[in-house]
Structure 1
């Protein structure tokens, strides 16, 4: 029998994404977010949920754009730092030595050193309580050529992304390859 833990945010794991935006002064800023995910295939969209007091909240509301920056495991310290301090008080790019790049498709910066970038324009905003959910239509995905497979698609083993677990507030690498999607389950077909 399972043990009840009550209504908590313990879905495991969550993304370790860094959200890029330009603040009210035009300065590039980033924040770490775990309350994110894909929400629609056509048009391709994803969501990010941010609390109203966060510096990034007003920036995304004003510019109606953000980027999702997906780091490699060796960049975990930068990702963690981006969630520990506010862009109101600190230039996170200067502190970490990361390079902001102006998005080509949306009015938001991305991090040059991170291997996978998603540029999004805001198409819906939902007040959910302590968080506001931004639905971003994916306008472009950018990847370092070094993380692409022979078909030109991002290869998770080359990107080496990592995840966050809310319960114990820890980062974990992603495990071994288990098999191909829409193939493993065939063992249960026609039985």
Structure 2
């Protein structure tokens, strides 16, 4: 059976799905769900989010120069979806979804307390790309929920039940299949 050829499109799936929190100059906080996100650089730590210019959070992030990437979990999936389909122009998403604003340690944008990881970012650049503009963010702080630290002080995100997004669907992650470098690791004799 041969492969079907499709017009150009993004087929890099699954993707992390995150809730990005931000706050405007009048101190009104908002959350936008984003699947176009990822790591750009390790040192300095840089990430990106891509947002359509017509989205309510776009101008908030552009004008404040700050945002927080909040990782999502199976427990948060309904809230994740709501924050992606409702506009902050019309509804207070923190209130409607019973999410707790927690002050950032570095940025003025709030963190979402219920998230296991909050990545505080400052906008370094905005790149117009077409339907979305890419916000390049320098990571200025990472906050992790201590209940996911093991006895060796290693963070175990898998215990938080993280979720991913693929073609309009949310999925939980499955079993661990290996760890970095396992394919070349020498076996004990």
TM beyond 0.5: yes
Equivalence for 2:77: 76
Whether 1:95 and 2:100 are equivalent positions in the alignment is no
* 1:146/1:158 contact within 8 Å kept: no
* 1:69/1:116 contact within 8 Å kept: yes
Equivalence for 1:134: 135
Equivalence for 2:35: 34
Structure 1 gap ranges (5+): none
Q: Deviations over 1:117-174 (max 9, x none)?
A: 10011111111111110111111111111112334332132121100003xx000111
Q: Deviations over 1:70-90 (max 9, x none)?
A: 122111000010001011110
Q: Deviations over 1:31-80 (max 9, x none)?
A: 10001100001101110000001111001111111000012211100001
Q: Give the SS at the match of 1:184.
A: coil
Equivalence for 2:66: 65
Aligned length: 185
In 2, the alpha carbon distance for the partners of 1:139 and 1:153 equals: 21
Equivalence for 1:6: 7
Deviation at 1:10? 2.2
Q: Please give the residue correspondences for 1:91-130 in structure 2 after superposition, counting only pairs within 5 Å.
A: 91-130=92-131
RMSD across aligned positions (CA): 1.4
In 1, the alpha carbon distance for the partners of 2:13 and 2:112 equals: 26
Deviation at 1:108? 0.8
Equivalence for 2:23: 22
TM-score normalised by L of structure 1: 0.92
Structure 2 gap ranges (5+): none
* 1:10/1:165 contact within 8 Å kept: no
| Cα distance change of structure 1 residues 42 and 172 upon mapping to structure 2, 3 Å threshold | same
Equivalence for 1:47: 48
Equivalence for 2:156: 155
Equivalence for 1:179: 178
In 2, the alpha carbon distance for the partners of 1:160 and 1:153 equals: 16
